[in-house]
Amino acid sequence: MKVNVVKIAMLGVLASLSIVLMLLIRFPILPVAPFLEYEPADIVVLIGSFLYGPLEGLLLAVIVSVIQTLTVSSGAGWVGMVMHIISSGTLAISAGLVYKKLHTKKGALFALITGTVCMTAIMIPANLFFTVRFWGFPREQVIDLLLPAFIPFNLIKAGVNSAVVFLIYKPVSKAFDMIHARNGR
């Protein structure tokens, strides 16, 4: 089994950058649910998924989620970590799978839209299960928050992160290609 040291190193760089973004930029975007905070870590997770594949994107999502739980979101505990892994992991896997098959600019756009829709969709049952079962919110309250909070939050967060990736991915991928070319990809 061949170990690609450059790939592992670049995944480490991406994980670090994602963590830095998550630590530096965090703010609520919906007054109805100020506990839901936007953070741009998924930009780097998506880039990793496009560069290396959906499983590598999932790995980045897991790393960021664990560190987020140990630092700025410790109050959310393991439930918050699992929900973050579900949301970011779904975004990375679904977008990465589509982009792997449709490796064009239009394919990237379709992949990012697919990832945004999949992330938003998976978080509906995730919130109904985890928020009710482990955080003790009444099911009716969670249902009442789906349309004004959970669905728009996930659409906005994934949509903004996807838009940024769409704008910056090509130059970033060229830079990574140069790094790999120098080191014998």
> pLDDT per residue over 9-33, tens digit each?
999 999 999 999 999 999 999 999 9
- What's the mean pLDDT in 62-71? 92
Q: Are 65 and 84 in contact (CB under 8 A)?
A: yes
Residue 1, CB-side half-sphere exposure with 13 Å CA sphere: 2
Q: What digits encode the pLDDT tens for the residues 126-167?
A: 999 998 888 888 999 999 999 999 999 999 999 999 999 999
b/e sequence 37-72, b meaning 16+ C-beta within 10 Å: bbbbbbbbbbbbbbbbbbebbbbbbbbbbebbbeee
In the chain the domains, ranked by start, together with CATH numbers, are 5-24+37-176 (1.10.1760.20)
Q: What digits encode the pLDDT tens for the residues 74-112?
A: 777 898 899 999 999 999 999 999 999 999 999 999 999
Task: Report the C-alpha gap between 99 and 116 in whole angstroms.
Answer: 13
Sheet strands (E) in 132-180: none
Return the amino acid letter for 76. A
Provide the whole-model pTM: 0.92
